[in-house]
Structure 1
Amino acid sequence: MKKKPIILVTNDDSISAPGIRALIHMMNSLGEVYVVAPNKEKSGISHAITMDTILYCNSIKIDNGTQKEWECSGTPVDCVKLAINNILPKKPDICVSGINHGSNSSINIVYSGTMSAVIEASIEGIPSVGFSLLDVKFNADFYSSKEYICRIVKKVLNNSIPDNVISLNVNIPKLRKNQIKGIKICKQAKSKWKECFEKRYNPSGKHYYWLFGSFISNKKIIDTDEWALKNGYISIVPVQFDFTNYSILNTLNSWTFIFLFIYPFI
């Protein structure tokens, strides 16, 4: 019989979050599951790693599944690093992260601990997928998209991901199963957060700041993740960690020539 694939599951909402518990149960039907996830919420922590304090990673059992689990005091990226280097018996066949409580579409990927975990796995040559549901509620319905999630993971396991694509960023609209229209392969939409730091005061009169903001995006461009999600589709964006803007290399080379010609001794 073909050996079961080893699946590493992690997230940024904590090991006890409903989203990761749902993802674990889904992955148990596909392979041998190992879970290494933060012991508390680490949302919005991006690709942070722990360098100046102790890391704890303890075996834990939350439910009656067949998976092996560890909770980590560090970040999602720490979890992946520890899993690969110290915990798993060998390199996993795939790393899946999520299911995140809330969107990681568009520019949100920059801030996402969920996606940074799969990016870290991809740096190590491991195919990886991050899953996010556009519902921040604790009791969100994570199972409406089970069929799609399992189908995506099977596709990656059976076909792998090209070397120049580090991971897939999958976002799922807040819809019932029969309302989801299907899957769209998309570009990342251009967007930003319009932010504000509100100055407040605690009971002792000391001031502090509270961040809030509104998301600004053009959802009318039909080949983007924001358009797909707005129109009832699951969006998949292939992501890479090479940040080089190749379209402007020639322009910058011409700048360098000018700088060296005019200011040779700078």
Structure 2
Amino acid sequence: MAINSSRPTILVTNDDGIEAHGLHALATAMLELGDVVVVAPREGHSGMSQALTVRVPVRYREEKGDTPYRQYSVSGTPTDCVKLALHTIVPCRPALVVAGINHGSNASINVLYSGTMGATLEGCVAGLPSIGFSLVNREPGADLTPYLPYCVDIARAVLERGLPDGVALNVNLPRRAVQGVKICRQAPARWHSEYDARQDPWGGDYYWLTGIFESLDGEAEDTDDWALRHSYISIVPTRVDMTDYPMMKAMEDWKWRKH
């Protein structure tokens, strides 16, 4: 695949699958900034976090279509897509990895479960500036047009300024008209009543993932949850390194028995 070396190469992926509206809207928008290569799961893989395929072979194929960029589907997870793209599919090192636009929020605690952010963090692990974009609207056909200029501006800023090693951006877009952009911390939160007990037509019990989101710091104006509820785009710098360094220090005087 030929790449115009005068423009940066941008790898675009997602967790909603190769046919997702948000994927192609983001890929088309990124053409303003560079040469785009799309590598995305063949099917939806929401909630995969940074999962890898380890029990079956991973395969990819080029998808034909009337797009101004080449696109490849992968039989595995979003993280598989990034790994395979960097190892095999993309002939040069990308300047940027972007994932999304995901249909559904990946703010707050949701970042831990997100396949979109799993792919984003995999790009970060590979030493590439990486951004995950998500929309607080699960409708597959949601109008993304008002958000795309912001996505381009954020990606342009990262291309120009870079990101520290081990840091990616978790960007979430509000449901209503954008009032501005806020740099935020991740809101502390949890999910309650996560499984709905049901019965199939044969009387067998099964459980369907649902859940009620509870923010634990709901009125703090520096969190992503507050920003989104007030129609701001939230940007959370997110680290791959999950070490709690103050806790390391606090544990220095813990006593351990020899066994």
Flag whether TM exceeds 0.5 (same fold): yes
- Residue 122 of structure 1 aligns to a residue whose secondary structure is helix
In the alignment, the residues of structure 2 paired with residue 152 and residue 81 of structure 1 have an alpha-carbon distance, to the nearest angstrom, of 24
Contact 1:19 1:98 in 2 (8 A): yes
In the alignment, the residues of structure 1 paired with residue 201 and residue 5 of structure 2 have an alpha-carbon distance, to the nearest angstrom, of 63
Pair 1:246-2:249 in alignment: no
In the alignment, the residues of structure 2 paired with residue 221 and residue 65 of structure 1 have an alpha-carbon distance, to the nearest angstrom, of 43
- Residue 109 of structure 1 aligns to a residue whose secondary structure is helix
Partner residue, 1:216? 214
Partner residue, 1:157? 159
Q: Which deviations, in whole Å up to 9, do the C-alpha atoms of 1:224-246 show, x marking residues without a partner?
A: 11111111210000000111111
> What does 1:47-62 align with in structure 2 at a 5 Å threshold?
47-62=50-65
Contact 1:219 1:230 in 2 (8 A): no
Shift of 1:58: 0.6
- From 170, 179, 182, the equivalent of 1:181 is 179
- Residue 145 of structure 1 aligns to a residue whose secondary structure is helix
Pair 1:227-2:230 in alignment: no
Residue identity opposite 2:219 in structure 1: K
The count of residues paired between Structure 1 and Structure 2 equals: 255
Partner residue, 1:203? 201
Greater radius of gyration (CA): 1
In the alignment, the residues of structure 1 paired with residue 115 and residue 228 of structure 2 have an alpha-carbon distance, to the nearest angstrom, of 21
In the alignment, the residues of structure 1 paired with residue 100 and residue 121 of structure 2 have an alpha-carbon distance, to the nearest angstrom, of 13
Using the size of structure 2 for normalisation, the TM-score is 0.95
- The alignment yields a C-alpha RMSD, in angstroms, of 1.4
In the alignment, the residues of structure 2 paired with residue 230 and residue 3 of structure 1 have an alpha-carbon distance, to the nearest angstrom, of 41
Shift of 1:2: 7.7
Q: Which deviations, in whole Å up to 9, do the C-alpha atoms of 1:7-53 show, x marking residues without a partner?
A: 00000000101110110110122111001000111000111100110
In the alignment, the residues of structure 1 paired with residue 56 and residue 7 of structure 2 have an alpha-carbon distance, to the nearest angstrom, of 36
Using the size of structure 1 for normalisation, the TM-score is 0.92
Contact 1:130 1:168 in 2 (8 A): yes
- From 69, 72, 75, the equivalent of 1:70 is 72
> What does 1:11-30 align with in structure 2 at a 5 Å threshold?
11-30=14-33
Q: Percent identity?
A: 44
Residue identity opposite 1:168 in structure 2: L
- From 123, 126, 131, the equivalent of 2:125 is 123
Q: Which runs of 5+ in 2 are unaligned?
A: none
In the alignment, the residues of structure 2 paired with residue 124 and residue 196 of structure 1 have an alpha-carbon distance, to the nearest angstrom, of 34
Q: Report the CA distance shift for 1:252/1:235 in structure 2 as closer, same or farther (over 3 A).
A: same
Q: Which runs of 5+ in 1 are unaligned?
A: none
